[in-house]
């Protein structure tokens, strides 16, 4: 069966387009993040801390900071560990992550959270919180590269 040259050209162009698109989707990678966040507040709260991103065999220091508004009372230390996905380079982790949540920690409590920033990086973190903290608030967490 013979194909016309124009049909052959169209099929070749479609094949090239599909092959060019596939590698770009597979370049997104994932890494491992550990964050230590200190939080305190009374109605308006603040948080700050530091952490490390492990990505492609290298370690990158991180800083965190944020504000909380709503019902915030107390102080706590939270240590979170987990995976960051959908990143192409270490700097994709940097950005602002927003969340609405509620919680209560008296002594020691478990935490789990999934956050996304404006670059599409997805943090899936679990850990523990120590201190006295009650919250039902809107909060933002900014992560920067040090």
Per-residue pLDDT tens digits for 20-37: 554 444 578 999 999 999
The reported pLDDT for the residue numbered 99 is: 65
Q: What pTM did the predictor assign?
A: 0.73
CB distance 143 to 63 below 8 Å: yes
Selected residue with higher pLDDT from 79 and 141: 79
* Strand ranges across the sheet with 58-87: 29-55, 58-87, 122-145, 95-116
Write the DSSP string, 42-65.
Answer: EEEEEEEEEEEEEETTEEEEEEEE
Q: What structural domains does the chain harbor?
A: 29-145 (2.40.128)
Residue 115: predicted pLDDT: 87
Q: How confident is the model at residue 66 (pLDDT cuts 50, 70, 90)?
A: confident
* The pLDDT of residue 23: 46
């Amino acid at each position: 069966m013979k194909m016309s040259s124009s049909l052959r050209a169209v099929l070749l162009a479609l094949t090239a387009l599909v092959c060019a698109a596939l590698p770009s989707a597979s370049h997104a990678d994932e890494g491992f993040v550990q964050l230590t966040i200190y939080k305190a507040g009374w109605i308006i709260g603040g948080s700050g801390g530091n952490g490390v991103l492990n990505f492609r065999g290298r370690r990158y220091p991180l800083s965190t900071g944020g504000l909380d508004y709503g019902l915030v009372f107390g102080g706590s230390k939270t240590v979170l560990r987990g995976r960051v996905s959908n990143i192409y380079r270490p700097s994709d982790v940097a950005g602002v992550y927003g969340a609405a949540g509620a919680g209560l920690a008296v002594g020691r409590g478990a935490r789990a959270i999934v956050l996304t920033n404006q670059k599409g990086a997805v943090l899936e973190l679990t850990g523990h919180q120590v201190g006295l903290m009650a919250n039902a608030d809107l909060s933002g967490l900014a992560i920067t590269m040090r």
